[in-house]
Structure 1
Amino acid sequence: MNRKLNFIDLFAGAGGLSEGFIRAGFNPIAHVEMNKDACDTLKTRTAYHFLKENNRIKEYYDYLKDKINRDELWAKVPTHLIKSVINKEISPETLPSIFETIDNELGKEKVDLVIGGPPCQAYSIAGRARDPKGMTDDPRNHLYKYYVEFLERYKPNMFVFENVPGILSANNGQYLELIFKAVKDAGYDLDKKVLNAKNFGVLQDRKRVIIIGWKQELNLKYPDFQDKVNQYEVLKDLFSDLPKIKSGQGEWKSTKYSKKTNNYLESTGIRNGIDFTTQHISRKNNENDLEIYRIAVDKWVNEGKRLNYAELPERLIKHNNTKSFTNRFQVVNHKDLAHTVVAHICADGHYYIHPDINQNRSITVREAARIQSFPDDYFFESSRTTAFKQIGNAVPVLMAEGIAKKIKEMI
């Protein structure tokens, strides 16, 4: 088979899942995503891939160095590629136009694969805990039906459906049963497993339910994934070459590295050949929070203990609730693995405090992206807050690449 395998990415977010499949040799026909900032990120990444394939990567770097603006970057890419990023919410009203755009992009080509996972808030345990009705009325519970419509229309050989572990117990497992029944009725067999990003080389403890399906006549089975043994540390290997900055410091665009690369950054493709990165910029915190950060880091690094908010000096406690969420200030593990990065990082950085007490801040956009194994030339549009949200919602690139390589073997 000489041609590239084509895929459609639904609920694409910032493109972490897609990036992994592109790395494994797949070709994106379309990305469908309702959030405009995430779509802008996808368009910028589309420009990166086009310019790189055509030996014009310097033009992409000009954008990262602020020598050209975003519109000028996108103008360098064929219009149909930019239009293949479809900024629409998937609904009965929008499906006809989404299908039309994809059909125009496809021509006579086949769709080999559909990937993506509906927004996870409706299935997440935290989301259900906050909602008096346990999210049972949330319309996002039923977005899988549209996913199945794409399977019925394009008949790919396989699909990959990603979501949070909470989907296993949502509505006592009934949503999962409905998904399995709908997919089987569409002509596919499928299976599910809880996979952890750490077993794909990601320096993060992040569990996700990965459902993989295939046409019934292909008679396949769920692939076996070889777990990678981690020998790296967050502070020593993942963050070591980024300039040391304090709260409120950093650069949105071009930032020079402070050290040479290392084995982890090279082998994962996080550092990929250029001598600068972007978005190494931190939030500005007030003095109260900074004092709490110092206490939290000292406790974690020197005693191996997590901070209990209720045990802080009274003058530092600003929240009335000291009974729940007592771990609201948490330091990123300086050794071994970081804890799961979630979209809430866009609200504040208290749950992701940098483990270096001398820097005394929460992690930067670039550090969060590295925990999710995004390469350093991946640029997130269009503000620090939206970038954090996109990163928190993403599938780690290395995890996606590991899944993609197995899928490619199977197809």
Structure 2
Amino acid sequence: MSNVIFSFFSGSGFLDLGFEKAGFEIVFVNEIENQFIKAYDFSRKKMGHSEPKYGYQANSIEDYLSNQDDGYLHESVRNENLAGNLVGFIGGPPCPDFSVGGKNAGRTGENGKLSRSYVECIKKYKPDWFVFENVKGLWRTKKHREFYDELKKELLESGYELNDRLINSLEFGVPQDRDRVILFGIKRELYKNIDKKFCWDSYMKYPNKSAFSYEWPDKSPFGQELEVPSTLPLELTVDYWFNKNKVNQHPNKDHHFTPRAGLAKFLVIDEGDTSKKSYKRLHRYRYSPTAAYGNNEVHLHPTKPRRISAAEAMAIQSLPSDFELPSSMTLSAMFKTIGNGVPYLFSYGIAKTIKDYLKD
């Protein structure tokens, strides 16, 4: 028996990559953005990974709920069931409608509706288990939480046992302050046969936000020499990951936006000053704020007068050093897919937790 995964809202495959490393097989990939699908395929080939068994489906998840559905998803799931495999659905519906810094349109927004579509897809195709990932606004904002609780109620009524948690990426060793809701569901008949509790923190290096307890450095004048701190977990710092991934030699090292207005603004912001809405300068010996590169949010290199590169942004997302994006991709698409992605080590930690739980 194998654990196979049908991936939705796949982006360029960060979430999938973590599950794959944990021993799951990605057999189906769904992503509506054509540039992201191409990047997913490109990166897999570069890393020597095989193409998903059922290929790449460049269409909306809502197509699988309509009368026009050609039955491909149904047939693919059925094939895996007949082969005796455990089928999992994983996906993080686009979330700006629930984000604190986003549109806040909630369930009625164009993106907000996709969370319900994903849940309807789970209810219709009945995977053995699923993962639903989203922003903390769905958990902490009252009106969005009501919607989230409604979705959970529907999934419970559809025969799933649920476990959820608000997790910060730092807990899994990602050099980034990023909160995400993870909801794990498993069919009740399978749940009854598993004689152990689902434990979220099995693979967390810094559980319960213990990473915040260190005395992290504050701001320093731009261009100043700094000593490497000896009392901090350096694996959570920007500098450690830039070196680990050899970002200066990475194929995406020169993929960064160049400002029209010149360098003046880039020379006056202190290293580590992330207090502003737009221009935030990273600190070498601290973790990054959330890798969100839209809505005029600009992240600056700690020691250079420029925006961070795609290679540096991918390091902040804890991706393997051999993960790269095609140079034909637009800069906007690069930074959008990087910012939307689930950090690799976060994904890997969740995947290993689920793998252990399903082992019996």
TM-score category of the 2 structures, normalised to the smaller one = 0.7 to 0.9
**Counterpart of 1:9 in 2: which secondary structure?**
strand
**What is the rounded CA distance, in whole Å, between the counterparts of 2:311 and 2:26 in structure 1?**
25
| Residue 393 (1) aligns with residue 343 (2) | no
**Counterpart of 2:25 in 1: which secondary structure?**
strand
2:205 aligns to what?
Answer: 228
For 1:278, the aligned partner's letter is: P
Relative distance call for 1:163 and 1:332 in structure 2 (3 A) is same
**Counterpart of 2:235 in 1: which secondary structure?**
coil
**What is the rounded CA distance, in whole Å, between the counterparts of 1:409 and 1:306 in structure 2?**
38
> In the alignment, which of 34, 37, 52 is matched to residue 36 of structure 1?
34
> In the alignment, which of 278, 281, 289 is matched to residue 331 of structure 1?
281
Give percent identity, aligned residues only: 25
**Counterpart of 2:265 in 1: which secondary structure?**
helix
> In the alignment, which of 182, 185, 196 is matched to residue 210 of structure 1?
182
**What is the rounded CA distance, in whole Å, between the counterparts of 2:274 and 2:103 in structure 1?**
26
| Residue 376 (1) aligns with residue 350 (2) | no
Counterpart mapping for 1:129-148 below 5 A? 129=104, 134-135=105-106, 137-148=108-119
**What is the rounded CA distance, in whole Å, between the counterparts of 2:277 and 2:117 in structure 1?**
38
Question: Are the aligned partners of 2:238 and 2:282 in contact in 1 as well (CA < 8 Å)?
Answer: no
**Counterpart of 1:189 in 2: which secondary structure?**
strand
**Counterpart of 1:240 in 2: which secondary structure?**
helix
For 2:96, the aligned partner's letter is: Q
**Counterpart of 2:61 in 1: which secondary structure?**
coil
> In the alignment, which of 138, 149, 158 is matched to residue 129 of structure 2?
158
**What is the rounded CA distance, in whole Å, between the counterparts of 1:8 and 1:306 in structure 2?**
37
> In the alignment, which of 253, 258, 269 is matched to residue 284 of structure 1?
258
CA shift for structure 1 position 154: 4.4
Structure 1 residue ranges (4+ consecutive) displaced by more than 6 angstroms after TM superposition: none
**Counterpart of 2:10 in 1: which secondary structure?**
coil
CA shift for structure 1 position 102: 3.2
Question: Are the aligned partners of 1:197 and 1:399 in contact in 2 as well (CA < 8 Å)?
Answer: yes
1:340 aligns to what?
Answer: 290
Q: After alignment, is 196-205 or 172-181 more displaced?
A: 172-181
Counterpart mapping for 1:21-60 below 5 A? 21-48=19-46, 51=48
**What is the rounded CA distance, in whole Å, between the counterparts of 1:153 and 1:354 in structure 2?**
46
| Residue 353 (1) aligns with residue 303 (2) | no
1:63 aligns to what?
Answer: none
CA shift for structure 1 position 279: 0.9
CA shift for structure 1 position 37: 0.9
Question: Are the aligned partners of 2:61 and 2:118 in contact in 1 as well (CA < 8 Å)?
Answer: no
**What is the rounded CA distance, in whole Å, between the counterparts of 2:49 and 2:19 in structure 1?**
16
Q: TM-score, normalised by structure 1?
A: 0.70
2:90 aligns to what?
Answer: 115
1:407 aligns to what?
Answer: 354
Instruction: Say which one has the larger Rg.
Output: 1
Q: Which has the higher helix share?
A: 1
Question: Are the aligned partners of 1:234 and 1:334 in contact in 2 as well (CA < 8 Å)?
Answer: yes
Over aligned residue pairs, what C-alpha RMSD do you find? 2.8
Relative distance call for 1:368 and 1:159 in structure 2 (3 A) is same
> In the alignment, which of 360, 363, 375 is matched to residue 308 of structure 2?
363
CA shift for structure 1 position 180: 0.6
1:61 aligns to what?
Answer: none
2:5 aligns to what?
Answer: 7
**Counterpart of 1:352 in 2: which secondary structure?**
strand
**What is the rounded CA distance, in whole Å, between the counterparts of 2:179 and 2:144 in structure 1?**
20
**Counterpart of 2:7 in 1: which secondary structure?**
strand
Relative distance call for 1:278 and 1:136 in structure 2 (3 A) is same
For 2:259, the aligned partner's letter is: N
**What is the rounded CA distance, in whole Å, between the counterparts of 2:248 and 2:170 in structure 1?**
28
The one-character-per-residue Cα deviations of 1:129-182 (angstroms, maximum 9, x if unpaired) are 5xxxx4453143333343234434543332111000011226252211221111
**What is the rounded CA distance, in whole Å, between the counterparts of 1:300 and 1:231 in structure 2?**
17
Counterpart mapping for 1:187-266 below 5 A? 187-217=159-189, 218-219=191-192, 221-226=197-202, 227-229=204-206, 230-232=233-235, 234-240=237-243, 257=249
For 1:236, the aligned partner's letter is: D
1:269 aligns to what?
Answer: none
Query: Alignment length, in residue pairs?
Result: 319
Unaligned runs of 5+ in 2: 207-232
For 1:400, the aligned partner's letter is: S
For 2:308, the aligned partner's letter is: I
Relative distance call for 1:284 and 1:141 in structure 2 (3 A) is closer
Relative distance call for 1:149 and 1:102 in structure 2 (3 A) is farther
**What is the rounded CA distance, in whole Å, between the counterparts of 1:95 and 1:122 in structure 2?**
27
**What is the rounded CA distance, in whole Å, between the counterparts of 1:177 and 1:52 in structure 2?**
38
Question: Are the aligned partners of 1:42 and 1:85 in contact in 2 as well (CA < 8 Å)?
Answer: no
Relative distance call for 1:135 and 1:147 in structure 2 (3 A) is closer
Question: Are the aligned partners of 1:167 and 1:173 in contact in 2 as well (CA < 8 Å)?
Answer: yes
1:173 aligns to what?
Answer: 145
For 2:266, the aligned partner's letter is: Y
**Counterpart of 1:99 in 2: which secondary structure?**
helix
